[in-house]
Amino acid sequence: MARQYFGTDGIRGRVNTSPMTAETALRLSIAAARTFAPEGGREVVIGRDTRRSGDMIEAALVAGFTSMGITPVLLGVVPTPAVALMARETGAALGVMVSASHNKFEDNGLKLFSPEGIKFDDDTEEALEMAMGTALKGEYAAPAEITLPRTMAGTSNRYVRRCLDTLAGGQDFSKLKVVLDCAHGAGFETGPAALTELGAQLTVIGAAPDGININAGFGSTATGALKAAVLETGAHIGIALDGDADRLIVIDETGTEADGDQVMGLIAGEMHRTGRLKGGGMVATVMSNMGLSEYLKTEGLTLARTKVGDRYVGEHMRAHGFNLGGEQSGHIILSDVSTTGDGLLAGLQILSVLAARGGKASDMLRVFTPAPQELINIRYSGANPLESDRVKTALAEAEGLLGDRGRMVVRKSGTEPLIRVMAEALDEDLMLKALHHAANAVTAAAGNS
C-alpha cells in the first residue's frame, strides 16, 4: 500500500505541514492505543528532543493517549535510545520519541518502539497507517477512564548508568582530552554527564539548546565546529552526536572525520579479539563501503547487508544472531546493551579502546582503506524520477559499466524529497564515470539544471 505517514525512520516532515502535524500525532496516539492496548489501562513512555515544536507534538500525543485510557509517562528531553530503554524496562505498551533526528528545527518526527524497545517492522507500520485513517471515528474511553499524564524523573541518569556499565572497570580516562558536540540536541545533558563521570578532560560544544538551534552548525552532519575545537584544544578525539543522540561521527586529533564504517570496523575487530562478537561478523546497509567488507574478510568475519535504515539492520541482527550492526551515517547498534542506534554508547566503546591502547586516534580509526565512493543527493518535486524509463535505462547502463568491479545504490530518501545516487569501485575513474552517468539522468528527470 502507498504510505501516507511512515518513511524510513518513523514519521518525519516539516512541522505544521502534512504529515507532521498535531493532527497526525493525535491520530497516531489513538490508533496505537487501539492497536497495542485495546482495553486501555496501560502506560506509554514519551521522550522528545530540544526543538520548539516538541511540546506541541507531545501535547497532541497526550491528548490522544489519555482519551483512550492510556497513561502517558513523560520522560522529557532524552536521547532516542533512552526511550527504547524505558519502553523495555518499564513494561510500557509503547515508546514514542518526538524527534526529526539530524534535521533542522523546522522539521519534527515520531519514532515508535515496541515494549521490547524495538522499532516497528513494515507490516506493523502499515497496520498503523490503516488505523490512523479512521482513528477519529472510533470509540474512546469512558469519562471515568480518561487518564492523566505523569512525569518520570531520573530517566537521563538511568540511561547514562546503563551506558557506563558497559565499560571495563579500572580503565583510566583521565589522560584523554575529548571534545563532545551535542548538536544542541537531546544528548546535551547525558553526553557530558557520562564523560565527566569517566574523568575525561572534556570540552563541550553544542550544548545550549534554545528550541531552534538544534543541528544548526553543530552535530554529526555539521562537523566544522567540532573539527576546529579539536585542533584548538589539542584534543585526542572529538565526538559529534546528532539531534536525538542515536548516532555519532568521530573526529581524530588531526581534524579528520571517521565515519560509521570505520567506527564499526574498529568495534568489530575489538569485540572479535575479546571474544564478544556474535554471529561471525556484523550487519550494515547497502551504503557501507566495500573497504569494510574487505577488512572483515581479513579477520575471518562476514558483512551482511540490508536496505537503508537502522531498523532493518536491527531486524537482521535479531533474526541471525549478530550483536553488532549499523550504518555508515553513524547509527551503531550494540544489541547486547541497546536495541537501537546509540551515539553515546558507541562513543564510549571508542574511548575505551583509545584509553586502553594509547596512541593516536588517527591510527586507531583508520581500520581500512575505503574504496572510492561518492554520493550525490538530487532534490526533486512532483513525480519520483526513478519511475522514468530514461532513468531506468541509465541506471542499467551505469551498473553495466561497473560490472563486478563496483556497486551502485540508487534510492529515494525516506525522510526528504531526495534521490540518493551512490557509486563505489576500486577504480576511482570507473566509479565517477558510472556515478555521473546515473546522476545526470536522475537530475534531468527531476527537472533540475
Annotated binding site for Mg(2+): 101, 242, 244, 246
Pair 320, 400: CB distance under 8 Å: no
Catalytic residue among 99, 101, 156, 329: 101
**Grid cell digits, residue 402:** 561497473
For residue 335, how far is the Cα from the chain centroid? 14
For residue 221, how many C-alpha atoms fall within 13 Å in the half-sphere facing its CB? 16
Binding-site residue numbers are 101, 242, 244, 246
Return d(Cα 334, Cα 148) in angstroms, integer: 35
For residue 334, how far is the Cα from the chain centroid? 13
Pairing of strands 418-425, 373-379: antiparallel
CA distances from 410 to 155, 260, 348, 376, 426 (A): 40, 20, 33, 10, 19
Q: Beta partners for 412?
A: 419
Helix (H) or strand (E) holding 310: helix 310-320
Give the three-class secondary structure for 48: strand
String of b and e for 178-188 (b: at least 16 CB within 10 Å)?
A: bbbbbbbbbbb
Is-catalytic flag, 101? yes
DSSP class of residue 325? E
Amino acid in position 98: V
What residues are labeled active site? Answer: 101
